[in-house]
Structure 1
């Protein structure tokens, strides 16, 4: 698989994370399903104010994300190399679909948000380094920092002129995904979760077919350690 195709694959996953996070932010009143820095701050403020009931949900979201991260890492470590990506994506698709069904039945995010955080935690284990930057992650603080650093190096003539493009695209994909999630929620309400559930399932199927056809994981051709 070519690097541009793999990059597009990763950017789509990052956009899906933005989509899911925007819906979670709206429905949970300022909490996140993938950005645990924000939830950690919310947890700390609630604890500082002595508001145990307010601290519970951000704590549960952080724990769910951690469980997803451990699960994704375990799948990546234990599954045959070519099946790791399809297996992680299948796990993510099931988690998002479960969140959709749960939210649809209860007409609230509530418990469903924990399944979304579980899925987002697992997603970060999908792709390795691609041309020196991470695509497919559910957070972009590192990408934004790397973007600034590479712009500085390019301006100083000490780095590739367009080395910052990949990191900029990762940040932009999360932004675009979040805008799409907001618009979808405005039109569809909680039904908007069907979109990431369906797309993640399609990506899992595509990754599985690729592994079956080539005998290699999607990232095997294009991934390389960051410089």
Structure 2
């Protein structure tokens, strides 16, 4: 994929992460399926308050995200850089679809959320090899800082006048995705997961076609 397609894929995945995170936040009553910094903070607060009976859920979400990150990274390593993006997107599609099935079979809020956290952990491996690329991850604090930093550089003419636009788009994508996720969950409950599963599946198909059309890089003779 060229950089334009990588950017479009990354922004779409950032919106998808916001969508899933908002859905999980509402369903879990204040915990997250992609924003692990929030879960770690919750875990620390619960530990400090000695609420040991409630520690398992944030711990399980953090562990699920970690497992997803390991799984997505392993898939990328074994498949190779060329096919890593469609392969990891396929894994993510299966995990999001699995979360829907689990949620319909086992209505307790936690079980489906573990599959979603795994999907978000795996998603971070989709574009991890693109140098200097923030979009597509499930955390945008760095993008928000970059947005402010580049505005300051533009004001003082220390940097390009519109370099802030990329980081701003990343932040906006997460916000719009989260808003859509909250509204969709209100209207559709767990069936709102159909949308991110379809988005991930379509991205997997598109990126597969794009990779298949590309010629493999020629090996340099030793």
Provide TM-score, normalisation by structure 1.
Answer: 0.90
Q: Is the 8 A contact 1:31 1:58 kept in 2?
A: yes
Q: 1:76-132 CA distances to partner (integer Å, 9 max, x unpaired)?
A: 222122111111111111111100111122334321101100010111111147684
Q: 1:129 to 1:163 in 2, by over 3 A?
A: farther
**Which residue number corresponds to residue 117 of structure 1?**
117
Which ranges of 4 or more aligned residues in structure 1 deviate by more than 3 Å? 1-5, 128-133
**Which segments of 5 or more consecutive residues in structure 1 lack a partner in the other structure?**
218-227
Q: 1:145-185 CA distances to partner (integer Å, 9 max, x unpaired)?
A: 11111111111111010011000100000000000011111
Q: 1:64-87 CA distances to partner (integer Å, 9 max, x unpaired)?
A: 111111111222222122111111
Aligned to 1:26, the other structure's residue is in SS state helix
Q: 1:24-80 CA distances to partner (integer Å, 9 max, x unpaired)?
A: 000000000000000001101111111112111000100111111111122222212
Q: Is the 8 A contact 1:82 1:215 kept in 2?
A: no
1:69 aligns with 2:69: yes
Deviation at 1:5, TM superposition (A): 3.2
Q: 1:201-224 CA distances to partner (integer Å, 9 max, x unpaired)?
A: 11111111221221459xxxxxxx
Q: 1:210 to 1:131 in 2, by over 3 A?
A: same
Q: Is the 8 A contact 1:12 1:173 kept in 2?
A: yes
**Which residue number corresponds to residue 220 of structure 2?**
none
* 77-86 or 40-49, which deviates more: 77-86
* Aligned-pair Cα RMSD in Å: 1.7
**Which residue number corresponds to residue 99 of structure 1?**
99
**Distance in 2 of aligned mates of 1:138 and 1:215:** 31
1:15 aligns with 2:15: yes
Q: 1:216 to 1:141 in 2, by over 3 A?
A: farther
**Which residue number corresponds to residue 51 of structure 1?**
51
Provide TM-score, normalisation by structure 2.
Answer: 0.92
**Which residue number corresponds to residue 39 of structure 1?**
39
**Which residue number corresponds to residue 141 of structure 1?**
141
